[in-house]
Chain A
Amino acid sequence: MSTIKAGNIKKGIYILYKNLPHYVVKTQFVSPGKGSAFTRVKMRDMRNGSNVEFNFKSHDNVEELDVETKEMQFLYNDGNDIVFMDPRSYEQISVPKHILGDKALMLTAEIKVYLTIYEEQVIGVVLPPKVRMTVANAADAISGDRQTAGKKPVTMESGLIVQAPLFIRTGDTLLIDTETADYVSRVND
Chain B
Amino acid sequence: MQKNWQKLKSNVNLRERFLLREKIVDSIRLFFKSQHFHEVETPLMTSYPPTDPYFDLFETTLELPNGQTQAAYFYTSPEYSLKKLLAADFGNIFEICKTFRNKESLGGMHNPEFTIMEFYRINANYFDVMADFEKMLFFICQTLQINAKRFVYQSKNYDLTPPYPKFSVAELFSKYLHLSADEFLALKPLKKKAASLNYDLSSLANLSPNLAWEELYNQLFLNEIESQLAQFNQPVLVYDYPAVQATLARKTAADPRFAERFEVYLAGMELGNAFGELIDPVVQKRGLRHDLQVRRQLGKKDQKIDQDFLAALESGLPPCSGMAVGIDRLIMLFADVGDIDDVLLFPASQIFTDAETHS
Contact = CB atoms under 8 A, between A and B. Distances in A.
B16 interface: yes
A35 B218 contact: yes
Interface string B81-120: 0000000000000000000000111001110000000000
Contact of A38 (B13, B211, B218, B273): B218
Contact of B221 (A32, A149, A150): A32
A61 interface: yes
A27 B203 contact: no
Interface residues of A, number: 28
Interface of A: 11, 18, 26-38, 40, 53-57, 59-61, 146-147, 149-150
Contacts of B203: 57, 59-61
B219 A55 contact: yes
Interface string B1-26: 00000000000010010000000000
Contact of A32 (B103, B218, B336): B218
**B: interface residue count bin:** 35 or more
Contact of A11 (B104, B214, B336, B359): B359
Contacts of A55: 219, 222-223
B218 A36 contact: yes
Interface in B139-187: 152
Contacts, number: 74
Q: Is the interface of B mostly helix, strand, loop or mixed?
A: mixed
Nearest to B220: A55
18 contacts: A18-B198, A26-B359, A27-B359, A28-B105, A28-B108, A29-B110, A33-B270, A34-B52, A34-B54, A34-B246, A35-B245, A36-B214, A37-B54, A40-B222, A53-B227, A57-B203, A59-B203, A147-B152
Contacts of A149: 13, 16
Q: Which of A27, A34, A38, A53 has the most CB of B within 10 A?
A: A34
Contacts of A38: 218-219, 222
Nearest to B238: A33
B277 interface: no
